[in-house]
Amino acid sequence: MAGSGQTSISTVQDILHTSGNIPKLLRALPHVPSRSHADVCTPPLSHRKTFDWIDSIVIIDYKYCTYDNTAYRKHLLDFDGLPEPIPEIENHDKGKLLAF
């Protein structure tokens, strides 16, 4: 764009930068990447999930799975009212049973 008109390169770069366009590489690579460098950098870029380990977890019996979902919230009370007691969590002997 700067070559087609009488606008300086820095002005064109400022306009492109303010509009959200930035260069893909901030600087040129000083050398060509070696084969070993390419072998190290390529696998993370082409990584894909090969095993869904969470799908292998099966809950044996739902009645043995205990969850503590107690949410403590502020309650509005009357001036002479008393707060309701917080229920205690029942502890089950078997706890959680998971099979892998």
Q: What is the rounded CA–CA span in Å between residue 1 and residue 11?
A: 10
* 2 touches 8 (CB < 8 A): yes
Question: pTM of the predicted model, to two decimals?
Answer: 0.21
Nearest-10 Cα torsion for 68, 73, 77, 83: 30
pLDDT in tens, 3-29: 566 777 778 777 777 777 666 655 555
Q: What angle do CA 51, 55, 57 make, to 5 degrees?
A: 120
pLDDT in tens, 23-52: 665 555 566 677 777 777 776 666 666 666
